[in-house]
Structure 1
Amino acid sequence: MSLFDLSGQDTIDTIPFPTEKDGLASYIRHRKPVLLSGVSEALPFTRGWNYDYFRQSLKSIRIQRKSADGIYHYLGFERIPMPDFDEVMETTHNGYALEPLKGRGVSEDLPGDLSVSLPGFVPESGFRVSNLYIGPGQNTSLLHYDETHSLLMMLEGRKRFILFSPEQSGSMYPYSPFSLRALLENRVVDSRVDCQNPDFSLYPKLKHAKGVTGWLEEGQALFIPAGTWHFIEAEGRNVSVNYFWLQNRLSDWMQQPLLNFWIKRRAIDVLDQLRKVKHKLSAA
């Protein structure tokens, strides 16, 4: 039994990509995921954005390697020349690119004409980052949630997804907010479940979870509300761009899993302060 077998009877809506400010207001308010069609029509700057385009436009790219368990954990990155990444894509497949295009962490190596605009429904004040993802195929995410809303746009290839509502957090087996290991490894939003081989005897509540599954096709975008658990798996070579933005209400922060996230972030802040104190004492 795989994680995708946990699909319930609910289906996901598909609507035209909204261009107005309140175009996703109902889905954001009810924390309901939705598929958007017509990405290139709504965001013309994405036209022609495929692997060949980025291979020719970028001098270097930030990638991560697979961990010992074969999963990309988003923990460590290295920057390599684009020709080296092209070789990875064609041969070893041991590399997954995550390159910030707008917002936090943007590299000076990005070409000046690579312009990224925000969709009308993404508030400038809440915007965090827009990332480029490129994978050789069969790359998967962990089962996790984000504290921000996310919009994942498929530019080349396709990805399969399963989403679980925040109300099912008790069946997702998140790391404890008081787990020092999880805090140190930055796994504050991850599930302990092995998505490739879920052990339902070890995690019995998971078997009763009901998810929403579907395919994110080229030219579509998937809106994933904050706190929504999701697992995503690419079929073949894939290129996607996403947006993260913060637009949560106080009531959202008072519910799981965002309440746990808030506690974990405070614990991480304390650890960071302790590290700084230790560094100052060592220097003294």
Structure 2
Amino acid sequence: MSLQLTEIERVKTISKEDFYNNYVKKQKPLVIEELTHDWPAYNKWHLNYIKEVAGDKTVPLYDDRPVSYKDGFNEAHATMKMGEYIDLLQKEPTNYRIFLYNLMKEVPLLVQDFKWPNIGLRLVKQLPMLFFGGENSRVFMHFDIDYSNILHFHFHGKKRCVLFAPSQTKYMYKIPHSLISREDIDFDNPDFNKFPALKQAQGFVCELNHGEMLYMPEGYWHYMKYVTAGFSMSLRAFPRKMSNLSRAAYNVFVMRHFDNLMRKLKGQSWIDYKNEAAIKRTHKQLHITK
């Protein structure tokens, strides 16, 4: 048995009006295949080009180790020169990823390679973030702290994306005071005996190819797997719903600071408590007995 996943709808191109009315307003994900075809990035943005223009930059790296009380919020696990990291990506599979990194601040030349899409969203111009990953590396299931609408562009290779709407949160084994689900869930091959609520979850899936864009509506859960080594760029627009703006403000100004404080006060027992609570609360809400 596998997750209940529906292929995300695809179009080659779409008008601003159709995109806004049929996807943003309805909060439906979409893949647009040819949005980047007139960007310089479509031909230029491969790993060797990034190495050429940014190889000397020191970048933060993350791996798939479980969350520890010793880690700060989004604290990197290691650093490396970008050139060395790209050499590693091209040599062999690695769990090291670059996550939510504003490389364009370090290398302004990259800004000339893409165009801000006129697609009906008021994009935040200060936040073009890049993400890199090695073959088979994974980004744990999570939703974004700011509940943004996200345009996620992929370059160099293939990336598998699994999404769940906010309405599916009750099945996701969400960690309290956090933005993630249980990290021991393998969303490629979930253990339904241990995590039976996942059998009820209904989600979406797509495989992004070079130059394709995935629209992720606000608050959507997402899990990413780099089928091949590659990298992506996300552009963001603030949430349209007032309720999501309120949740975003709470996450940014209250939740993450409270969680960091409890890690300092209680150490690993705080992490263990949250992991246990994720199962207990999910099963209690859904009347699952084990």
Q: Provide the TM-score with structure 2 as the length reference.
A: 0.72
The verdict on how the C-alpha distance between 1:267 and 1:12 changes in structure 2, with shifts beyond 3 A counting, is same
Map of 2:228 onto structure 1: 236
Percent identical among aligned pairs is 21
Deviations 1:67-101, CA, capped at 9 Å, x for gaps:
4359xx95316543233223422257352234314
Q: Match for 1:93: what amino acid?
A: T
Is the aligned partner of 1:51 residue 2:41?
Answer: no
Map of 2:94 onto structure 1: 93
SS at match of 2:225: strand
Give the one of 118, 128, 131 matched to 2:129. 131
Shift of 1:174: 1.2
The verdict on how the C-alpha distance between 1:119 and 1:266 changes in structure 2, with shifts beyond 3 A counting, is same
User: Gapped runs of 5+ residues in structure 1?
Assistant: 178-187, 276-284
Alpha-carbon distance in structure 2 between the residues aligned to 1:175 and 1:273: 14
User: Gapped runs of 5+ residues in structure 2?
Assistant: 68-72, 263-290
Alpha-carbon distance in structure 2 between the residues aligned to 1:265 and 1:167: 21
Map of 1:81 onto structure 2: 81
Alpha-carbon distance in structure 1 between the residues aligned to 2:64 and 2:256: 26
Alpha-carbon distance in structure 2 between the residues aligned to 1:123 and 1:81: 34
Shift of 1:202: 3.8
Alpha-carbon distance in structure 1 between the residues aligned to 2:261 and 2:164: 36
Q: CA RMSD in A?
A: 3.2
Q: Provide the TM-score with structure 1 as the length reference.
A: 0.74
Map of 1:268 onto structure 2: 255
Alpha-carbon distance in structure 1 between the residues aligned to 2:223 and 2:242: 26
Q: Match for 1:221: what amino acid?
A: M
Alpha-carbon distance in structure 2 between the residues aligned to 1:224 and 1:83: 30
Map of 1:64 onto structure 2: 61
Give 1:195-214 correspondences, 5 Å limit: 195-196=185-186, 198-214=190-206
The verdict on how the C-alpha distance between 1:68 and 1:269 changes in structure 2, with shifts beyond 3 A counting, is closer
Is the Cα contact below 8 Å between 2:61 and 2:80 reproduced in 1? no
The verdict on how the C-alpha distance between 1:128 and 1:173 changes in structure 2, with shifts beyond 3 A counting, is farther
Map of 2:180 onto structure 1: 190
Is the Cα contact below 8 Å between 2:154 and 2:208 reproduced in 1? yes
Shift of 1:132: 2.0
Is the Cα contact below 8 Å between 2:59 and 2:82 reproduced in 1? no
Q: Match for 1:194: what amino acid?
A: D
Map of 1:6 onto structure 2: 3
Aligned residues: 248
Alpha-carbon distance in structure 2 between the residues aligned to 1:160 and 1:80: 26
Is the Cα contact below 8 Å between 2:95 and 2:137 reproduced in 1? no
Shift of 1:17: 3.8
Shift of 1:229: 1.3
Map of 1:227 onto structure 2: 219
SS at match of 1:32: coil
Q: Match for 1:140: what amino acid?
A: R
Deviations 1:168-203, CA, capped at 9 Å, x for gaps:
1111121223xxxxxxxxxx2111252326443443
Alpha-carbon distance in structure 2 between the residues aligned to 1:218 and 1:149: 21
Is the Cα contact below 8 Å between 1:88 and 1:94 reproduced in 2? no
Deviations 1:123-175, CA, capped at 9 Å, x for gaps:
14x45521222222111111111211111112111111221111111111212
Is the Cα contact below 8 Å between 2:93 and 2:135 reproduced in 1? no
Map of 1:281 onto structure 2: none
The verdict on how the C-alpha distance between 1:271 and 1:11 changes in structure 2, with shifts beyond 3 A counting, is closer
Is the aligned partner of 1:157 residue 2:153?
Answer: no
